[in-house]
């Protein structure tokens, strides 16, 4: 579990945590989980839900900014839900995380100068689709990085922009949850 690190909390002791919860893929579970945050008046910075490595099990990745004690309690409440198998929380140092962003710019902006092309190259972004009217650019990275590209492309008349929630993987060699599933398979006392 996450250890409190003094060097990265803000002045209120708040820091960014990434919560990962593994659950059955049942109707209404997202609601059950978000209620826990609502009750404690805690804001969700980003939320990603999708199938996990194990068929039938879904993974919630939730980013919050709060004090460690409060995050721990919320994680315990999530794990308490009948249909949640396990829930964990991690500091920024404990995970590798990524987001994806899509940008739509007018194709004329690319034609008129090579500035846009330079920008795309500099940010290691890539072009997904080009039409006569618009070009869709994709970039993966941390929020600050995708934001930087946003700011730069905005100068060329950005038509649309969208950013995903965070996905994350732990630095521990095996996923905590995979270890848990293997252990419980061994001694399924329940």
Partner 1 sequence: MKDIKEHTATSSETSKTIRITGSEAMMLSLIHEEVDTIFGYPGGAIMPIYDALMNYTDKLRHILTRCEQGAAHAAQGYAKVTGKVGVCMATSGPGATNLITGIANAMLDSTPIVCITGQVGAPLLGTDAFQETDVIGITMPVTKWNYLITRAEEIPEIMAQAFFIARSGRPGPVVIDIAKNAQFGELDFKYSRCHILRSYLPKPKIEMGNIYAAADLINKAKKPYILAGQGIILGDAEDEFRAFVEKSGIPTAWTILGACALPKDHPLNVGMLGMHGNYSTNIKTNECDLMIAVGMRFDDRVTGDLSRYAKQAKIIHLEIDKAELNKIVKADVPIHGDVKDSLPLLTNLIEKRSHEAWLQEFKEVDKIEYEKVIQKDLHPVKPGLTAGEVIHIINEKTGGDAIFVTDVGQNQMFASRYCKFKNKRSFVTSGGLGTMGFGLPAAHGAKIGAPGKEVILFVGDGGLQMTIQELGTINQTQAAVKIVLLNNKYLGMVRQWQQMFFQKRYSETFLLNPDFIKVAEGFGINGKKVVERPQLAAAIQEMLDFQGPFLLEVSIEKEDNVFPMVPTGASVSEVILEQKK
Give the residues lining the site for partner 1 (CB under 8 A): 23-24, 27-28, 31-32, 35, 39, 72-73, 76-77, 79-80, 82-85, 184, 188-190
| Alpha helices for the chain (secondary structure H) | 29-39, 68-80, 107-112, 115-122, 143-154, 176-186
Nearer to partner 1, 25 or 113 (CB): 25
Nearer to partner 1, 69 or 117 (CB): 69
Q: How far is the CB of 175 from partner 1 (least distance, A)?
A: 17
Return d(Cα 10, Cα 32) in angstroms, integer. 29
Closest of 97, 107, 91 to residue 140, by C-alpha: 97
Nearer to partner 1, 32 or 123 (CB): 32
Q: How far is the CB of 83 from partner 1 (least distance, A)?
A: 5
Closest of 95, 54, 60 to residue 75, by C-alpha: 60
DSSP 56-91: TEEEEEEEEEE-HHHHHHHHHHHHHSTTEEEEEEEE
Return d(Cα 57, Cα 44) in angstroms, integer. 22
Q: How far is the CB of 145 from partner 1 (least distance, A)?
A: 36
Nearer to partner 1, 27 or 41 (CB): 27
Q: How far is the CB of 150 from partner 1 (least distance, A)?
A: 36
Nearer to partner 1, 50 or 160 (CB): 50
Q: How far is the CB of 80 from partner 1 (least distance, A)?
A: 5
């Amino acid at each position: 579990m996450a250890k409190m690190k003094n060097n990265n909390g803000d002045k209120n002791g708040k820091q960014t945590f990434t919560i990962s919860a593994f659950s059955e893929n049942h109707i209404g579970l997202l609601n059950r989980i978000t209620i826990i945050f609502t009750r404690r008046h805690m804001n969700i910075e980003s939320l990603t839900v999708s199938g996990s490595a194990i068929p039938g099990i879904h993974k919630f990745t939730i980013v919050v900014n709060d004090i460690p004690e409060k995050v721990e309690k919320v994680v315990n409440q999530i794990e308490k839900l009948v249909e949640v198998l396990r829930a964990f929380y991690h500091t920024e140092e404990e995970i590798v995380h990524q987001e994806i962003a899509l940008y739509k710019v007018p194709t004329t902006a690319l034609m008129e100068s090579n500035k846009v092309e330079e920008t795309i190259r500099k940010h290691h972004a890539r072009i997904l689709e080009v039409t006569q009217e618009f070009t869709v650019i994709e970039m993966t990275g941390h929020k600050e990085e995708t934001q930087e590209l946003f700011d730069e492309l905005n100068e060329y008349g950005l038509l649309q922009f969208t950013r995903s929630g965070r996905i994350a993987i732990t630095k521990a060699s095996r996923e905590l949850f995979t270890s848990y599933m293997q252990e419980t398979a061994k001694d399924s006392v329940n």
